[in-house]
Amino acid sequence: MKFEQSLSKSISYLSAFSLSLILACTGAQAQSLNIPIETSSNALVLHTDASNHLGTIYFGKKLANAAEYGQIPGTYKQAGDYTGQLNSAYTTSGSRNLLEPAITVTHADGNNSLDLRYVSHTTTKVDDNVSLTSIILKDPVYDFTVTLYYKTFAKEDVVEQWSVIKHKEIGIVNLKKYASANLYLKSSEGFWLNQYHGDWAKEMQPEESKVTHGIKTIDTKLGTRANLFMPSVFMVSIDKPATEDEGTVLYGALEYSGNFKTDIELDYQNNLKIISGINNYASEYSLKPNEEFTTPAFLYTLSTTGKGTASRKLQSWARTYRLLDGKGSRLTLLNNWESTYFDFNESKLAELLKDTKKLGVDLFLLDDGWFANKYPRNGDGAGLGDWAENKTKLPNGISSLVKEAESNGVKFGIWIEPEMVNPKSELYEKHPDWVVKENKREEYYFRNQLVLDLSNPKVQDFVFGVVDNLFTKNPALAYIKWDCNAVIYNAYSSYLKNQNHFYIEYMRGLYKVLEKIRAKYPTVPMMLCSGGGGRVDYAALKYFTEFWPSDNTEPLERIFIQWEYSYFYPAISSSNHVTDWGKQPIKFRTDVAMMGKLGFDIVVSKLNENDLKYVQNAIKNYNALKPIIWQGDQYRLASPREGSVASILYLNEAKTNGVIFNYLVNNRYDEGSKYPIRLKGLDPTKKYTLTEINLMPGSNSSINGSKSYSGNFLMTVGFNPEVNSGRTSVVLQIDEIK
Ligand code: DGJ
């Protein structure tokens, strides 16, 4: 089973480290035990009470002396706690608890109650930075256990938490809710939730509000393209809304690409419970005796010094531990989607391959429309699923294009959407039973297409085959854009016996396919696209090198979208393309796209000489700066939501070199950077110069001169990039003077 893979991986890793057990306790000997789950700055302290119930007594800044966790007030059951145990580390239902549970089950005998008591725990060190704590909880009446796992990444202050559910009852136990994590926070001042919503071309719209009593649910039921309307990432500020550099804030994200659900409940005693996991919507899971149900991990990081620290740590975690090839390189590219849409042929593409070289990027990416013959893919209404080259458009096939790219000195990449099918396709005609649909009901389409049933192993093989065939026939193929443009309507699998398992088995199927692709093609770059950012999460990013944040590439809009994604995902993972959306000049568009992984989707031949020269030079600058943009620390200096200028700094680890992107985001009269913007993260004792780069050919910068500044000066007084209506985009390189 897929969700078990990460666990079994950690376990085999642990055995390789000869299980350096640093702590092991059993409930029989140890009553009222404290279990601190620590990272370099924080501690989550769990506690067993006299009846061996496990609760959270503390989550915050780590204490110097762990023995003092025992002195934290409220260690035991709170006065007036009528509902069992408010601070339960994994809230059960059907007995004393009357608030939102983390787990709800119906036992094999039909009984609905569950009580979980601490049995034992172990903490093992995976390496100098990573530890794994597992805590076994068991029902005293039923042979039913839940093991809570906490994987900590000390330096990054990141925790991944998941649970493994198992029983040895006689018969099936139905899991009605099965959360990954159940956090519990305390504050005398209250909590603020920063959540996101969106739609196509409007991804990552933030909304912050004070949490009121009751439950706020962040969830999706879309199946695939699950984050389209609501991504699973969120922030909770404690005591007051956190700012970039101040306040305590928790970032949370479920590592799951399907239906998720996070319940945020402020209880009657003003404590906050966060319960996150797979959405149990239409997904009651029938668990056989001895079968293990492993939930996806819930990822969180806590910062007591504002959002900036949290995002830098999360980005660093992602690059080191999660994103495929997070520390590696990426290919700049020219994509043809917006320049041709479905209307291309070999000669048009030959020109685009030349343009790729002329521009100075690494790869040409052929988008949608290259396949299907009986129902040619000349629009989005037909052909999806029929992955053979269209003979009219490409009589010599993909392989000739790959060769042509090679002879132009560039690489070749290709678009696929292998999980989907148009009803007007040979695939649908041949395998109607491979399609997710209610046979008794009318079909509903999203972008004229339906979803293939990935719970079916034959479909898994087919989807794997789409990728495998492309690579087998074209070993030099260097990039895949994997799209996913539909949600799941009429969720029904002709393959599955138990429809309640459909949403879960779909995701297991998807991860199985991706796992198989990565076993055979471990590092080939793949972009995670879902008509935009409809599918970005840290389970998927294990298999993908980058994601497509939005089809909205209007650069002003894009500043806001990229800004919000940057709280959770590193710049190296964000595919930013320069297109013709909007009215901004080429410089503005290119500068904005340079803030992540740069690409282009423009008609190069339509650029005037000056614009072309500008772009070619900007790409050279980008190639020099990309190690900092991809691997450096990101400091948000001025928010586009708070003033008329957005400013963001990328700084290398040694604090010797960086780049600052500044934009005018409000074009009303007399707006701009009136005052210096304070820099962050520099070494106060170092001396720096600031140089404006990415200038239009023939223009000079009013800023460039021979002045130098101490880090102290730049962080205290600041520097004015002189952004105004005549200078709407200003890119500054910052370098230490040795
Ligand atoms: C949606 C993607 O977001 C676009 O970039 C493009 O690849 C189209 N699909 C192609 O159908």
pLDDT reported for residue 1: 38
Is residue 188 within a helix (H) or strand (E), and if so which, with residue range? none
Residue of 367, 377, 575 with the most ligand 1 atoms within 8 Å of its CB, for mutation:
367
Q: Report CA(368)–ligand 1 centroid distance (Å).
A: 7
Q: Which residue has the tokens 């076993």?
A: 519
What are the φ and ψ backbone dihedral angles of 172, each rounded to 5 degrees? Answer: -80, 140
Per-residue pLDDT at 78: 58
Cβ < 6 A, ligand 1 pocket: 337, 367-368, 415, 483, 485, 529, 531-532, 548, 551
Task: Provide mean pLDDT across the span 545-570.
Answer: 98
Angle, helices 586-593 vs 555-566, to 10°: value is 10
Do 271 and 290 sit in the same domain of this protein?
A: yes
Residue having the nearest C-alpha atom to atom 4 of ligand 1: 531
Position in ligand 1 atom list of the atom nearest CA 548? 3
- On whether both 560 and 623 belong to a single domain, the answer is yes
Same domain, 115 and 176: yes
Determine which residue's CA is closest to atom 11 belonging to ligand 1. Answer: 368
Say whether both 116 and 238 belong to one domain.
yes
In a domain, 517, yes or no: no
What is the structure's pLDDT at 11? Answer: 37
What is the 483 CA–ligand 1 centroid distance (Å)? 7
pLDDT 10s digits, 115-141: 999 999 999 999 999 999 999 999 999
The tokens for 432 are: 């109607």
Final residue of a domain: which of 632, 662, 686?
632
Is 230 in the same domain as 157? yes
- CA-proximal residue: ligand 1, atom 10 (nearest): 368
* Distance from C-alpha of 565 to C-alpha of 572, rounded to nearest angstrom: 12
Mean pLDDT along residues 238-249: 98
- pLDDT at site 32: 78
Regarding whether 259 and 114 lie in a shared domain, the answer is: yes
148: phi then psi, degrees, rounded to nearest 5: -95, 130
Beta strands in 81-143 (DSSP E): 103-106, 117-125, 130-138
**Length of the chain as a residue count:** 738
Of residues 77 and 472, more confidence is placed in 472
Determine, yes or no, domain membership for 716.
yes
Residue 649 domain flag: yes
Phi, psi of 525, rounded to the nearest 5 degrees: -60, 135
Are the C-beta atoms of 299 and 538 separated by less than 8 Å?
yes
Instruction: Give the pLDDT mean for 680-703.
Output: 96
For residue 582, report the distance from its CA to the centre of ligand 1, in Å. 18
Longest alpha-carbon distance in the chain: 81
Q: Which atom of ligand 1 is nearest to the CA of 532?
A: 3
Mean pLDDT, rounded, for 201-226: 98
Q: Do 474 and 383 sit in the same domain of this protein?
A: yes
Q: Which of 225, 227, 228, 368 to mutate to test the pocket of ligand 1 (most atoms within 8 A of CB)?
A: 368
HSE-CB at 141 with a 13 A cutoff on CA atoms is: 9
Q: How far apart are the first and last CA of the chain?
A: 55
Count of Cβ atoms closer than 10 Å to residue 205 Cβ? 14
Q: For 322-331, write each residue's pLDDT tens digit.
A: 999 999 999 9
With respect to residue 565, please indicate whether it lies within any of the assigned structural domains.
yes
Where does a domain end: 632, 659, 692?
632
Nearest to 582 by CA among 485, 660, 665: 665
Q: In the predicted model, is pLDDT for residue 321 greater than 80?
A: yes
pLDDT interval class at 457 (50, 70, 90): very high
Number of domains, the chain: 3
> What is the CA(550)–ligand 1 centre distance, in A?
10
What number of CA atoms fall less than 13 Å from residue 304's CA on the CB side? 8
Domain boundary among 322, 353, 380: 322
Nearest atom in ligand 1 to the alpha carbon of residue 530 is 3
Ligand 1 pocket test, candidate residues 422, 485, 528, most atoms within 8 A of CB: 485
The closest-lying atom of ligand 1 relative to the alpha carbon of residue 367 is 7
In a domain, 451, yes or no: no
Confidence (pLDDT) at 73 = 72
CATH number where 667 lies = 2.60.40.1180
Protein residue with least CA distance to atom 9, ligand 1: 531
295 within 8 A of 277, measured Cβ to Cβ? yes
Q: Region 543-555: what's the mean pLDDT?
A: 98
Q: Residue 475: which domain range?
A: 333-419+463-490+522-632
What integer is the mean pLDDT of 367-378?
A: 98
Residue 205, SS3 per DSSP: strand
Pairing of strands 526-528, 546-547: parallel
Residue 431 counted as domain residue: no
Confidence band, pLDDT 50/70/90 cuts, at residue 31? low
The gap from C-alpha 575 to its chain's centroid, in whole angstroms, comes to: 13
DSSP structure string for 55-95: EEEEEEEPPS-GGGGGG-TT-SPPTT--SS-TTBSS---SS
Q: Is the dihedral of CA 116, 118, 124, 128 positive or negative?
A: positive
Do 15 and 128 have their domain in common?
yes
Q: In this structure, what are the phi and psi dihedrals at residue 470, rounded to the nearest 5 degrees? A: -60, -45
Q: Distance between CA 536 and CA 531 in Å, rounded?
A: 11
| Residue 715 and residue 731 share a domain | yes
Residues 6+ apart with CB under 8 A from 616: 358, 359, 360
**Does a structural domain hold residue 497?**
no
**Statement to judge: residues 652 and 702 lie in one domain:** yes
Of ligand 1's listed atoms, the one at least distance from the Cα of 529 is 3
**Structural domain includes residue 309:** yes
Burial 544-563 (b: 16+ CB within 10 A, else e): bbbbbbbbbbbbbbbbbbbb
Give me the CATH number covering residue 380: 3.20.20.70
Instruction: Report the separation in Å between the CA atom of 367 and the middle of ligand 1, taken as the mean of its atom positions.
Output: 7
Residues 310 and 348 in one domain: no
CA–centroid distance, residue 416 to ligand 1 (Å)? 10
Task: Locate 542 and state its tokens.
Answer: 């294990």
Do 383 and 239 lie in one domain? The reply is: no
Tell me the pLDDT of the chain averaged across its residues. 94
Q: What is the pLDDT of residues 412-424, one digit of tens each?
A: 999 999 999 999 9
* Centre of ligand 1 from the C-alpha of residue 626, in Å: 26
Q: Name the more confident of 697 and 80.
A: 697
Provide, rounded to the nearest whole percent, the portion of the chain with pLDDT above 90.
Answer: 91
pTM: 0.95
Structure tokens at 728: 């709407």
Beta strands in 614-668 (DSSP E): 633-638, 645-651, 657-664
pLDDT at 7: 37
